[in-house]
Amino acid sequence: MAPFSTMLFCVFAASFSWQQTTSAIKISAFNIQTFGTSKMDKPEVVNYLKQIIARYDMVLIQEIRNKDGTAIQELLDEVNSYSADQYEMVISSRLGRSDSYKEQYAYFYKTSTLSVLDEFEYPDNGAIDKFEREPYVVKFYASSTSVKEFAAVALHAKPDEAVSEIDLLADVYDYTTNQFNIENVVLMGDFNADCSYVKEDDWADIRLRNEDRFDWVIPDDDDTTVSGNTHCAYDRFVLAGTQLQQTSFGAQPFKFDEHFKLDYYDAVAVSDHYPVEIEIN
């Protein structure tokens, strides 16, 4: 048997090595209200957007309305011109039942801390069209974290169908685990999960809320809206997978109006939603 002092050194060395090779990443979900060319034509708005995005290793951007894709590419270029770290993007197709109104999801991610392993749009092609905008799912590799691999599921829920769409995310999670052979998943986005769209007695009908395998980490009494006239926790993170749940912390809205000392009118020019953020270790 090795001497006790040798064994103690090995334990210390292993602990030190773990501390040296793991560090947290910060991710965000941000509904940039009606994002397109008109927003990109406002330099003061772009200035705040690029600073917000550069806070994170990965950002899910929602409500992208620009048909030809130029606005989101310009935003990525602006972020890369501002940040010392370089970002890349993966983006969904244009989603929505109406030909006149469609949106895209995009994930901006820092290439020094994350890489994309795989992606898909949830196949909502059965007899019943279940989602207004099908969830967009991306599998990431984060070398600095203890989790290493996790999937992100994006949903911008249709307000009037929020209860059913949030409930169906339980099925999306199961599909994702089968597709990617992974249990660590963060379901994220503007779920419209509060106020008039999801009332207190609606939660009983939502499997994503009631099943123990899912952990809601943005409290119901948080406010993710910029307006002083509303107090609604629309934007959420839901964590699945024991390792992800145990190594994540700091979930909260980032109140950029307070951070940048913006008045109401300047703040809502950026978005009517706060980004929500969380760290993964």
Catalytic residue among 63, 134, 156, 273: 156
The question of whether 273 is a catalytic residue gets the answer no
User: For the whole model, what pTM was predicted?
Assistant: 0.92
Catalytic residue among 63, 103, 132, 134: 103
Q: How far apart are CA 221 and CA 69, in angstroms?
A: 36
What average pLDDT is seen over the chain?
Answer: 93
CATH T-level fold of 24-280: Deoxyribonuclease I; Chain A (3.60.10)
Q: How far apart are CA 167 and CA 177, in angstroms?
A: 17
Give the distance from CA 74 to its chain's centroid.
21
Residue pair 115/86 in contact (Cβ under 8 Å)? The answer is no
Q: How far apart are CA 165 and CA 154, in angstroms?
A: 12
| pLDDT per position as a tens digit, 102-161 | 999 999 999 999 999 999 999 987 667 899 999 999 999 999 999 999 999 999 999 999
The question of whether 231 is a catalytic residue gets the answer no
Q: How far apart are CA 83 and CA 208, in angstroms?
A: 36
Residue 17 confidence (pLDDT) above 80: no
- Planar angle of CA 37, 39, 44, nearest 5 degrees: 135
Torsion from C-alpha of 26, 31, 35, 41, nearest 10 degrees: -60
3 state SS of 258: helix
Q: Kindly list the domain boundaries of the chain, sorted by start residue.
A: 24-280
